[in-house]
Homo-oligomer: A and B are copies of this chain.
């Protein structure tokens, strides 16, 4: 077993899966990432305008699901979850590509986040540019 310690939590107007878009670029709202003080040093180089990958833990997902109908569409065949972005999967890690809009201490505002209010944040990574830029 591997233990994840959340580093923060999502603060969002989205409170139920029924109201959430399926992906961030399908109309998801701005949201605040509220980080724990313990990880402040790790946040020091984030800045508005940067594109980052936010990793979350879909704490309301079903972990015993291995096949779904994509996008909840009854006309689509059952598909192995590793070929879908369904939140229901053995380890429900959410992967969100967003842009940093604003930083206020331990709070970071981002756009296009489809994670629900209260979702734990587990990591943030930069979007990698080409090899020469690294």
Q: Chain A residues in contact with chain B, CB under 8 A?
A: 1-7, 22-23, 25-26, 39, 41-46, 50, 52-53, 55, 57, 59, 66-67, 70-71, 79-85, 89-91, 93, 95, 120, 122-126, 128, 131, 134
The A interface, classified by DSSP as helix, strand, loop or mixed, is mixed
**Identical chains bound together, number:** 2
List, in ascending order, chain B residues with CB within 8 A of A41's CB. 66-67, 80
Shortest C-beta distance, A37 to chain B (Å), equals 12
A90 in contact with B42 (CB, 8 Å): yes
Q: Residue of B at shortest CB range from A25?
A: B131
* Contact between A122 and B134, CB atoms less than 8 A apart: no
Q: Which of B70, B123, B128 contacts A91 (CB 8 A)?
A: B123
The complex places the Cα of A69 from the Cα of B123 at a distance, in Å, of 18
